Structure 1
């Protein structure tokens, strides 16, 4: 779990190390008051260790949602979720019990 500005930096560095060629495509985006909600697909080649999962060298697609609070043009809060479970299960990186 990454927290704060340094945490966000660590998170982005970890993602870039795991998926160095990743791209993100925004599918839908909404604005409400100070918030921007973005639905996205991240696609990248899994070449780095990710939470103990050995690199597969496969191109993975992971869907997700980000919720950002914007004040004076800057992100002051960030939250979100990605659906790694579905992708990892589909590619046999995790198994059902």
Structure 2
């Protein structure tokens, strides 16, 4: 039996679609304008501007970007936890690294809060050491 995704999980999942398609303009549809990013990337704007930057970097630096949801669970009060894997090929300059042409596989975990149809808070952890090793080995 197939069940429809809850609207909360659908919004949380749409976040990954933005990265996969490079849709920077879609940030305003998915994230609240006063987004709280509890662990922004150092030196990058926090909140919604930080999300625009990160999606742009992934768009410009990688092709064939695809997120696979490994685990996802809706929690009380609009929270959703998602563990994901991103695969892509590093074909452009991104995050200060020149294009390597190498395939990458990166994992991460996000905990987001969805209120009124938009992500209002996010905690996220990406295995950046894994990414750095794949791009510079």
TM-score for both structures, normalised by structure 1 = 0.83
1:31 to 33, 56, 74: 74
RMSD between superposed Cα atoms in Å: 1.7
Could you tell me whether the CA contact under 8 Å between 2:57 and 2:95 is conserved in 1?
A: no
1:10-58 alpha-carbon deviations (Å, 9 max, x no partner): 2111111111320100000012112111000001010122332221111
Farther-moved stretch of structure 1 (69-78 vs 59-68) = 69-78
Number of residue pairs matched by the alignment: 93
Give every structure 1 segment of 4 or more consecutive aligned residues whose post-TM-superposition deviation is greater than 6 Å: none
C-alpha displacement of 1:92:
6.2
The structure with the largest helix share of the pair is 2
- C-alpha spacing 1:68/1:92, structure 2 compared with 1 (3 Å): closer
TM-score for both structures, normalised by structure 2 = 0.61
Structure 1 unpaired stretches of 5+: none
1:21 to 64, 71, 92: 64
Q: What is the aligned partner in structure 1 of residue 110 from structure 2?
A: 66
The structure with the largest strand share of the pair is 1
Structure 2 unpaired stretches of 5+: 1-43
- Structure 1 residue 79 and structure 2 residue 123: aligned? yes
Could you tell me whether the CA contact under 8 Å between 2:100 and 2:135 is conserved in 1?
A: no
